[in-house]
Structure 1
Amino acid sequence: MKLQTQLIYAFTALLVVIMAVVWYVIYSLILDLLIQDEQRQLSQTGEILVDILNEQYGMMSNQQFYNVLEEQDLQMVLYDRTEDRVLFSTTPTQLVHGLYEQNDFANTNQTIWNLGNEKYVTSRILFLSEVSGLELILLTSLDDLKVVQLDFFLRLFLIFIIGVAAAILLAYFLTKRLVTPLSLLKQQLKKIEKRQFDDIKHIQATGEIKEVADSVYEMADELQRYINSQQIFFQNASHELKTPLMTIQGYAEGIKDGIFDEQETEKGLDLMVTEVNRLKAIINEMILLAKLDTEPNIYEPVKIDGQELINLVIDRTIPFVNEKGIVLHQNVENNITIYADEEKLLRALLNVVYNGIRHAKSQVRIRIFTTGELITILVEDDGNGISEDLIPTIFHRFVKGKNGETGLGLAIARAIIEQSNGSIKVDKSNLGGARFIITFPKA
């Protein structure tokens, strides 16, 4: 069953239940209201009649008195409370006798009289004074009120039917407005499933559906970037692996066929060893990258002192610094602690610093300081910097700048830093070269 149909059924059922409860409550109360209203009208009519009769009571004989009551188009009983008997009635004698037998006329609190299955609403009005004991009791059959109740019920039922129909229409339009964006979003997800990223269109939606749609678009963009990066990765990887393999294959076949002399054979063997070592380095870094991305448990975060970390970096880069003939500056703020895997973070920083040393002309600067709730590590050089078109992809795999080696060093650095809840980015340094900005939350 489709979601729209389910929602229509749910909304309609809910409204039907609510309206049914309201209808039942109103139907139950309407009879009480009709009885109260009838008693009020009988009381008003009786009081007017009694006031007129009281004024003329001394001027009329009993027969005239009864004739006046008879002329009224009302069901009434003239009751003598002191003698507990009916003096006169405009209703049939059999009816009055039955009412008298089954009800206590003297009980003023009994407002509803019973006669078999029938009920009568009553209203009492005293004649002259309470001493006289004469009461005028007006009657109305409850069946007459039930006719009014039934008429009200029919009208209420008609309103109920119209309300249900309106509810179904309203539920249809509301659910259609709610479900249509979901249906359109489903179509976009099908396009994502088929990797038709260029055909994805934004849908018009509001509220939580819009948030879900935005998340889907972000997911599609990220998935497209991931697929593109994987394609570029495999292309670059195949190229990087293919080059040394072709070199090794060429020399191996030449040595096997004896087309090289002794000197060329020695040179070829040395070159083969170099290419094998290069190939081994590329494969090892590819394996490390795969582990960094897929095995979070290989990280063992500990608290690392910032100064000690930079000292380890400097100790390992001194030979390269001396070879290049440049100066390595450091400036570390006191009492800085980073929470990360020490060995892997050291590997990431060495990759970044080695990159700076390779491209520097005369100096590399390392700084660690805190800003707010962040710890920032800056690595700057005075080289030629990174070209603008290379900055967006500099941390991708096998993306190499000038004088780059495997193209995996910065990708490994980013993977380690991000797994340690940090981030890394690059821009232009005030020294003229590149500036790598690494940030971590305070430990």
Structure 2
Amino acid sequence: MVKNSLFSKMVVTYTIIITVSFTILAAFLSFWFQDYFIKSRKESLTNQIDVIENVVITYLEGGMTHDELGERIKFIASYIGDDILVLDSEGYVNSTTSMKYNQLIGKQIYHGKLEDLKDDVCVEAINDYGVYLDKKVYVMGEPLKDMYGNVKGAALISISTDNLDSSLSNVYQIIWLSAVLAVIASCVVIYYFSQKMIVNPLSEMSSVARKIASGDVEKRVEIHSDDEMEEFANAFNVMADSLQQVEQNRKEFISNVSHELRSPMTSIKGFIGGILDEVIPPEKHKYYLNIAYEEIQRLARLINDLLDLSAVESGTYKLERTSVDINEIIRLCILRNEGRIKSRNLNVEVYFEGSELIVSCDEDKIIQVVTNLLDNAIKYGNEGGAIKISSEGKGKKACISIFNEGLPIDETDIKHIWDRFYKVDKSRTQKVSTGLGLSIVKKIISLHDEEIWVKNIDNGVKFTFTLPITKKI
């Protein structure tokens, strides 16, 4: 067994619980048995009191001698197994069945009324005359009455608890033997069920976790127990699915980055190599240098987008929220892209609910969001088509929409449109796009704890995102 294993901890805990429980039970039973023994003993002696009463009354009335009284009560004492002391009506000891009480004969050990005789008073009376009773002796006192109800004397019966101790010793042996057997049986049961329901499933999950850590991300745990362990296994599998997806994304990311970097680098290397080797004639140098320059710009855009995405995904970027006019941001982004808009003959329509709409956001990041969405609309909109941009307040939220006329996005593509390097154009012929713009937009909006979505409407595509409305500072 592994040191400090779950099984050993369960056994130790269960053993402690059983031991404490049986200890408490033994203590309770000892007090209960002692009290029960005394009560049952007193009840059993009640019938013998009548016999003692007849003998003592006969003696006190002169019907027998003192020696006969001694013989009679000794016979009764041997029958009941306890010592007897006989008191007259004044509380003097007349006779006893045990030598340890002989020194009390002729002495008045009780000075009160015999009808008020109590058990604890009897013990104190005997101890006062030098006969010290230990805790294992219990004295029962009963007044003796004649046929007219007059108290003629009393009988003290010294009850020993030695028999009780012997009985309790047997009970303790049974209790502790039962406890040992219960612990052994519990260990067997715990071993079986813990192995089946806890240890084995955990060992399986541990083994699968090691395999996943070593790169085998397709491994899963198969547990069908219809309890919390199955829920734990399902959660483990969900985590494994997530890790597999992360690994798949990592591989795709490396593949995409490699492709995006290799294509322009190959073009640049080929054009410059052709110029240096004089394969390309001098009159074509400027043409191919312009192409190389465009490829370098493409590389710069890709690297900048990767840096932006890395900063947002790392969780280290802190938003610098301020109160800004989203309408002014939209105007600024349109002006910056005026040349591209004119080159494609696009008709831009802007709809503002009011002259200004103040929102709380990181201004630089939201400018990047609007720029990327507008850039997307310009690139994929129909030549000579319309681009419609609107902002309006809905409750505590500002809704900003950018619509472009063009081909709708396939429903299967909409699910992945926010993924890194995902392009609807599978042939990758669209060199002006890095495939990171929408992914960056999604991350920035998520950092603001807001939402963004896309819909195909009216022969075009509409992107909408929200920002919280605030007061102008």
Same fold by TM-score greater than 0.5: yes
Q: Which runs of 5+ in 2 are unaligned?
A: 112-116
Structure 1, 230-239 or 335-344: larger mean CA deviation: 335-344
**Alignment partner of 1:421 is 2:449:** yes
Distance in 2 between the 1:256 and 1:248 partners?
12
Structure 1, 57-66 or 200-209: larger mean CA deviation: 57-66
Q: Deviations over 1:363-383 (max 9, x none)?
A: 333445566776544433331
SS at match of 1:330: strand
- Which of 74, 84, 95 is the aligned partner of 1:88? 95
Structure 1, 265-274 or 335-344: larger mean CA deviation: 335-344
Contact 2:333 / 2:371 at 8 angstroms: preserved in 1?
A: yes
Aligned partner letter, 1:355: N
State the Cα distance separating 1:193 from its structure 2 match: 0.6
Percent sequence identity is 21
Q: Deviations over 1:262-289 (max 9, x none)?
A: 2212212222222222222222222222
- Which of 136, 144, 156 is the aligned partner of 1:127? 144
SS at match of 2:349: strand
Contact 2:311 / 2:317 at 8 angstroms: preserved in 1?
A: no
Pair 1:66–1:201, CA change in 2 (3 A) = closer
State the Cα distance separating 1:384 from its structure 2 match: 0.7
Q: Deviations over 1:52-99 (max 9, x none)?
A: 6799899981358777645532342221251x432233x23x132267
Structure 1, 405-414 or 320-329: larger mean CA deviation: 320-329
Contact 2:408 / 2:461 at 8 angstroms: preserved in 1?
A: yes
Structure 1, 62-71 or 3-12: larger mean CA deviation: 62-71
Alignment-derived partner of residue 283 in structure 1: 303
1:431-442 mapped onto 2 (5 Å cutoff)? 431-439=458-466
Contact 2:95 / 2:105 at 8 angstroms: preserved in 1?
A: no
**Alignment partner of 1:382 is 2:402:** no
Alignment-derived partner of residue 175 in structure 1: 194
- Which of 16, 26, 29 is the aligned partner of 2:29? 26
Q: Deviations over 1:325-378 (max 9, x none)?
A: 223343558996544311112201221222123323333334455667765444
State the Cα distance separating 1:406 from its structure 2 match: 1.8
- How many residues align structurally? 438
Contact 2:397 / 2:469 at 8 angstroms: preserved in 1?
A: yes
Distance in 1 between the 2:105 and 2:60 partners?
29
Contact 1:8 / 1:175 at 8 angstroms: preserved in 2?
A: no
State the Cα distance separating 1:232 from its structure 2 match: 1.4
State the Cα distance separating 1:219 from its structure 2 match: 2.6
1:201-240 mapped onto 2 (5 Å cutoff)? 201-204=221-224, 209-210=229-230, 212-240=232-260
Distance in 1 between the 2:329 and 2:75 partners?
117
1:9-408 mapped onto 2 (5 Å cutoff)? 9-42=12-45, 44-49=46-51, 61-63=63-65, 69=73, 71-72=75-76, 73-74=79-80, 75=82, 76-82=84-90, 84-89=91-96, 91-92=97-98, 94-97=99-102, 104=109, 108=118, 109-110=120-121, 112=123, 119-128=136-145, 132-176=151-195, 177-204=197-224, 209-210=229-230, 212-294=232-314, 296-323=316-343, 324-332=345-353, 338-361=359-382, 362-368=385-391, 376-402=399-425, 403=430, 405-408=433-436
Distance in 2 between the 1:336 and 1:104 partners?
108
Q: Deviations over 1:291-316 (max 9, x none)?
A: 22226235323344444444444444
Aligned partner letter, 2:463: F
Distance in 1 between the 2:51 and 2:352 partners?
111
Q: What TM-score results when the alignment is normalised by the length of structure 2?
A: 0.79
Q: Deviations over 1:239-264 (max 9, x none)?
A: 22212211211121221122222221
State the Cα distance separating 1:411 from its structure 2 match: 1.8
Pair 1:123–1:382, CA change in 2 (3 A) = same
Aligned partner letter, 1:389: T
Aligned partner letter, 1:17: V
Contact 1:8 / 1:168 at 8 angstroms: preserved in 2?
A: yes
Distance in 2 between the 1:435 and 1:143 partners?
98
Q: Which runs of 5+ in 1 are unaligned?
A: none
Structure 1, 45-54 or 32-41: larger mean CA deviation: 45-54
Structure 1, 15-24 or 226-235: larger mean CA deviation: 15-24
* Coordinate RMSD, CA, aligned: 3.6
Aligned partner letter, 1:248: I
Distance in 2 between the 1:353 and 1:98 partners?
120
Pair 1:296–1:218, CA change in 2 (3 A) = same
SS at match of 1:5: helix
Contact 1:380 / 1:429 at 8 angstroms: preserved in 2?
A: no
Contact 2:26 / 2:175 at 8 angstroms: preserved in 1?
A: yes
Q: What TM-score results when the alignment is normalised by the length of structure 1?
A: 0.84
Q: Deviations over 1:376-420 (max 9, x none)?
A: 444333311222332233222222234562222112212222222
Structure 1, 318-327 or 415-424: larger mean CA deviation: 318-327
Distance in 2 between the 1:6 and 1:384 partners?
65
Distance in 1 between the 2:395 and 2:192 partners?
52
Aligned partner letter, 1:223: L
Contact 2:93 / 2:106 at 8 angstroms: preserved in 1?
A: no
